[in-house]
Amino acid sequence: MSKKKVQIGQVYQSVGSSSARAWRVRDTLNLFNIPHARVVSTEDDGDVKTLSCLVLVDPDYYRLIESPAAAA
């Protein structure tokens, strides 16, 4: 099991296309005891979807392209 953690503010992009839409993690939640992330499109903040955190950290499906800056 992956030790990578999905955090609010991270931006992911679907694997396989450099022109694919990027998705920013807006919040996290548990659905049926499974961690999920609610993500919003970086192009259209009205476009929202919920993905399993396991899918987001799986390099076969998504890649992390941006992380929020650490608090000073």
Structure confidence by residue, pLDDT tens digits, 36-70: 999 999 999 999 999 999 999 999 999 999 998 75
- pTM score, whole prediction: 0.84
Task: Considering only CA atoms, give the Rg of the chain.
Answer: 12
In 4-53, at which residue ranges do the beta strands (DSSP E only) sit? 11-14, 22-31, 34-41, 48-52
Q: Which residues, 6+ apart, have CB-to-CB distance to 22 below 8 Å?
A: 11, 12, 13, 41, 42, 43, 65, 66
Q: How confident is residue 13, by pLDDT bands cut at 50, 70 and 90?
A: very high
Among the residue ranges 16-20, 27-31, 35-39, the one predicted with the least confidence is: 16-20
